[in-house]
Amino acid sequence: MKSIEIKDLSLSFGDLKVLEQLNLDIFDGEFLVLLGASGCGKSTLLNCIAGLLDISEGQIFIKGNNVTWKEPKDRDIGMVFQSYALYPQMSVYGNLSFGLKNAGVPKAQIAERVARAAAILQIEPLLKRKPSELSGGQRQRVAIGRALVREVDVFLFDEPLSNLDAKLRAELRVEIKRLHQRLNNTMIYVTHDQIEALTLADRIAIMLGGSVQQLDTPHAIYNHPVNKYVAGFIGSPGMNFMKGALSGGDNPHFTIDGLNVDLSRYAFGEQGVQPTNSAWLGIRPEHVHVGKEADGLAFTHEVEVEVVEPMGADTLVWSQLANQEFRFRVGGQKTVTPGEKLIVGFDPISASVFDGHSELRL
C-alpha cells in the first residue's frame, strides 16, 4: 500500500527550476532515504511533502488523500529538523507537550503520549531539564520525541544528525533504525551522508539536479549503479574510474593505455556490447585483491604504492594503474610502504562499465 504519492511535482523559484516533473511512490512502513549532494533538491522535496513550500505543479497524496494545498498541521506528519528547534524557556516535558496542548488534546492523553515517547527514546530522566542543560544528542532525541507524540503515520527527518559528532551520530543512527523497527511507520530521511543512507534505508533515492537518478535498495545501488554519478557517490572511498576503449563481439575487452581487461564474464545490459573509444571501467577498492589473493583472476597487474592511509581495520592504498589513479584496500595488520611494488587484480564480474558520453551503465 502506498503511503505517499508524488505525481509530476515541479518547483521553481523564478526562472530557477529546483524540482522538475518528479514522480515518487513511498510505501506504507517504508524507510526511504533521499540522498545527494548539497543543492540537489532533497530538502526541498521534503519541505514540499511537509507543506512548508508551495509547489509549482503536480500533486502530493498522503494515505490516499490529496494534501497538495493543505497546511502542514493538516497533513498528519511529524517532522524532525536539523536545528532541533526546541523552545529554550520550556522544559523537555514542555517541549514535548506544547503542540498537543495547542491542538486541544486532553491532559491525561498528553501525559500518556509524552511518557511513551520518553520511554522509547530513553529520556525519562531529562523531562524536567531545559534544552540548555542537554547535550546535542539529548536535544535531538527530544526533537524526535516531539514528532513521536503526535502519533502520526509519516515522519520526515531533515538531516537530523548532521550537527552531531561522529561517535554520537553513529549511536543515534542505530537508535533511529530501532525506532523504525519498533513503530513501523513510514519515514523519509534526508541526508548527504551515504553511510546513513546505506545503513538506514529500505530504499534510497539518489538525487541530482532536482531529479531522482536511481531509486532502489542499498544493495542494488551499491552493486549495480545505473550511471557513473551514482557509482561515484555511493561507496567510501569512492569507486575507481578508468577511462578507455571498449571492444564488442563475443569476447569483449576494455583497453586502458595498452592494458586489456577481459569482460567476457561481465553482465552487459539488454543493449549488449557496442564498441566505443570512450567508456569508463569502475571497480570499488574493496573488490581489488592483492598479492596471492589476485592469483587466477581475469585481470592482474603490478602497481607501485604511492600513499598509505591506515584506517584501523583496514588500510587504504593509493597507486597508479595505466597512468590513472587507483585505490585499493588491504588488511589493517598488513604493512605497506610507499614505493613498494604489489600485484593487484580484480574479477570484472564485480566491475561496472559506463558509456563515456551518456555515463549510463552498460
The predicted-structure confidence for 247-276, as pLDDT tens digits, reads as follows 877 788 999 888 889 898 888 877 778 888
Query: What is the structure's pLDDT at 265?
Result: 86
The residues with which 261 forms a beta bridge, in sequence order, are: 254
Strands 31-35 and 203-208 turn out to be parallel
Tell me the CA distances in angstroms from 352 to 15, 222, 279, 329, one per residue in order: 37, 11, 11, 18
Residue indicated by cell numbers 557517490? 233
Residue 119 reports pLDDT greater than 90: no
Q: Is 182 within 8 Å of 150 (Cβ atoms)?
A: no
Residue whose C-alpha is closest to residue 208's, from 42, 57, 354 = 42
CATH superfamily of 233-355: Nucleic acid-binding proteins (2.40.50.140)
Q: Map out the domains of the chain as residue ranges.
A: 2-227, 233-355
Residue 104 reports pLDDT greater than 90: no
Q: Is 185 within 8 Å of 78 (Cβ atoms)?
A: no
Residue indicated by cell numbers 576494455? 254
Q: Is 92 within 8 Å of 126 (Cβ atoms)?
A: yes
Q: Is 186 within 8 Å of 152 (Cβ atoms)?
A: no
Residue-wise pLDDT tens digits, 21-80: 999 999 999 999 999 998 899 999 999 999 999 999 999 999 999 999 999 888 989 888
61 by DSSP, 3-state: which? strand
Residue-wise pLDDT tens digits, 132-175: 898 888 888 888 888 888 888 899 999 888 877 888 888 888 88
d(CA 172, CA 322): 43
CATH superfamily of 2-227: P-loop containing nucleotide triphosphate hydrolases (3.40.50.300)
The arithmetic mean of pLDDT across residues 86-100, rounded, is 89
Residue 287 reports pLDDT greater than 90: yes
Residue whose C-alpha is closest to residue 299's, from 314, 289, 308 = 289
